[in-house]
Structure 1
């Protein structure tokens, strides 16, 4: 991609500083930058690295004295990281998928493709599927029967969209993502040990029935607009009602969204997280990496769940939680600090014990 500092600044709706005609062919870290790269010096540590590279233009925090850094030009927005979203979009060369329909793709005659759709090699589009205009169906992608994709979808290599899944506009699925697999729903003829433990909290385990019968997934998956799903992540279809993912949700790699789950708008679910069946998350919820939400849990709006936490009970709106089980973040931090003091506390108790009981006895 070849552009100028002026073009990038215009796309970001900020004024270019210095030589606006500087040619920009890439974006990189300051220490690795060359004379045609826009160096990302958005924090003090990276600003210091400018001297290690050959950049003559940089993306800097507002108010930075760019001339003192020896640069010929700069872009200095109020929120540099947000500006990076726009700048990186300009410079993204994409995957290079060709336009049109590849001869090895199979497209059922009853499928409907909008204008400008491209379909890659060995892709399969099932009966009655609908693909919105200007969508890209990458190589070895499968779109199931009667599935619906909105406009400008991008399905990368090996994505699987199940039958009757409905997805809005501007959907992005990274390689290997699966939307619309069956939910993990099984039941035993008699009460199972899992049910027994749940009721007794492990006090007794008496149930014996363990012959699991499959509950079929009759519901679908409804995905809103502007949703992105990471590589090898899975969203299961509902049992009798659809699993729902709200507008603007961003789901990282290796995430599991169970059957009947409801995600509100603009949720962020990070790598390795799992949301168990029938849980409901409000709007703007952040689930950090490796965190888990148990089944049938309700999480309110604007909740932040820290990494590797386990949410085992409902969480009210606006709360930050942490730990196993997840509690208020400040409560978890206080408990952690107290646990680190335990060795010293035990040593103090032992010392007091010796002082009180001269012979080392206990009574």
Structure 2
């Protein structure tokens, strides 16, 4: 597929200089870009690669001298990386799912499939499922009874959507995500050792019999509009009420959302984040990779947590946190500096002890 530079610039709302009639077929890094590629030189350090490639056109940072870089045309955007979102959207052909319903798909007669939907091989759609218009569902997806999915969904291979899950418009699920599995919720007939430790923060008897009984998940999962779920992510259904994911929120690969969790709008949860049951997250929260959040706490709007943070207690809105346990970012930076100084401090203390001992011996 060919794209004319003038059309790309217009779609991005970006400034075009040079030959607008040039066409490209794809985007590429500068050093790898041939004459039919749009080179992505978003920072000066990337522009150096243009000399190694053969690109005629590039998406450039403001202030770049495109002529001096040997180009015939350039597109400038105030935020080139943001412009990439529009560029990649325009160039993404999406998965190869043929129109209509594949002959090997198993669709319950009671299911309602929206106009223009594409359903691939070996998909299973259960009783009373509702799938919106223009949905694209790739191979080996299963959608259980009573689930509802809005318009323009993109559900990639191997995704599992549990019974009565409700999903809004423009939903994206990457391969093998599981939405609506049972929550991890078990209880003992008598008070368990875990409960005792939580109360006393002390060692308990170790010979007490414990038998775990399952608490079944009677709730569901409710997901808003424009939500994306990464590969192998797992969102557990609620015990009684629903687990909820707000509109605009994006979950990376291998994120786990426990039962009864509520996540607000426009949050970003990076790879391997884990949210324990019944925790509430506000809007616009960013959790970097491998952040863990304790159960039954509240994290306020606009919180940012650095990678690997362990959040054990409520966090007020707007706070930037990091560490194990998570504290204010500036506090954790000071802690890290202090930890790095410990070997030197121990050496100094040892020297002082030696001097004190020598002085005592002489006295």
TM-score between both structures, scaled by the size of structure 2: 0.97
Root-mean-square deviation over aligned CA pairs: 1.3
Shift of 1:359: 6.4
The answer as to whether partners of 1:292 and 1:310 remain within 8 angstroms in 2 is yes
User: Which has the larger displacement, 111-120 or 351-360?
Assistant: 351-360
Shift of 1:246: 0.2
Question: Following TM superposition, by how much is the alpha carbon of 1:122 offset from its aligned partner in structure 2, in angstroms?
Answer: 0.6
Query: Contact conserved, 1:189 with 1:209, CA < 8 A, in 2?
Result: no
Q: Distance in 2 between matches of 1:154 and 1:301?
A: 29
Residues 36-60 of structure 1 show CA distances to partners (whole Å, capped at 9, x for unaligned) of: 1111111222111111111111111
Higher mean C-alpha displacement, 182-191 vs 342-351: 342-351
Q: Counterpart of 1:274?
A: 274
Report the equivalent of 1:248.
248
Residue 109 in 1 paired to residue 105 in 2? no
Contact 1:190 1:209 in 2 (8 A): no
Deviating more after overlay: 47-56 vs 130-139: 47-56
- 2:44–2:61 Cα contact (<8 Å) kept: no
Question: What is aligned with 1:346?
Answer: 346
Q: Residue 341 of structure 1: SS of its match in structure 2? A: helix
CA distance in 2, matches of 1:357, 1:188: 58
Unaligned runs of 5+ in 2: none
Structure-2 change in CA distance of 1:360 and 1:131 (3 Å) = farther
Q: Distance in 2 between matches of 1:212 and 1:2?
A: 61
SS in 2 for 1:265: coil
Contact kept, 8 Å, 1:42 with 1:61, in 2: the verdict is yes
Indicate the SS of the match to 2:74.
strand
Identify unmatched segments of 5+ residues in structure 1.
none
1:65, CA displacement in angstroms? 1.7
Q: Which runs of 4+ in 1 moved over 3 A?
A: none
- SS of 2:63's partner is coil
Name the residue aligned to 1:94.
94
Paired residue total: 361
Shift of 1:209: 4.3
- What is the CA distance between 1:360 and its match in structure 2? 8.1
Distance, in Å, in 2 between the alignment partners of 1:166 and 1:209 is: 40
Instruction: Tell me if 1:225 matches 2:229.
Output: no
Partner Cα separation in structure 2 for residue 194 and residue 179 of structure 1: 28
Q: How does the TM-score come out when normalised to structure 1? A: 0.97
Q: 2:103 matched to 1:85?
A: no
Secondary structure at the residue paired with 2:100? coil
CA distance in 2, matches of 1:195, 1:50: 62
CA distance, structure 2, for counterparts of residue 143 and residue 276 of structure 1: 25
Give the 5 Å matches for 1:347-362: 347-358=347-358
Specify the SS of the correspondent of 1:190: coil
Higher mean C-alpha deviation, range 64-73 or range 146-155:
64-73
Q: 1:63 offset after TM fit, Å?
A: 2.4
Match of 1:234 in 2: 234
